[in-house]
Structure 1
């Protein structure tokens, strides 16, 4: 068990900063990979976090000039 250290206002500020980063409740992760690796990574996420349970989806993707794919996957942490 960890004990929060610092003045109450410092503790409150740290908790508020943590909460602000995930205000909408979604967990997101961004990857930049070669096309075949991007497909494999997306499949891995959908296998591990099925859409029906976690509402997993590719939120954003684009092809970079060098052919790599940059994409963001988001999911709800509902069953973590």
Structure 2
């Protein structure tokens, strides 16, 4: 998982591995890993996600399959963007 802007600040890292089959599972694991950062949970509510370069949009995160070795981009809203 790659974290950008406010998500990166809330986790204290730019990226970390995931071991999940769906985006929902990966995000749940990330929330548990960063449970000490209430800001991370708040930031995630505003984020959009790219999975292997494709926008997730409004799809149910439980339906978004993740590939082993793939990339999840966690993108908070960007000013002017």
Whether the TM-score (by the shorter chain) exceeds 0.5 is no
Greater fraction strand: 1
**TM-score, length-scaled by structure 2:** 0.32
Task: Kindly indicate whether structure 1 or structure 2 has the higher relative contact order, using CA contacts under 8 Å at least 6 residues apart.
Answer: 2
**TM-score, length-scaled by structure 1:** 0.33
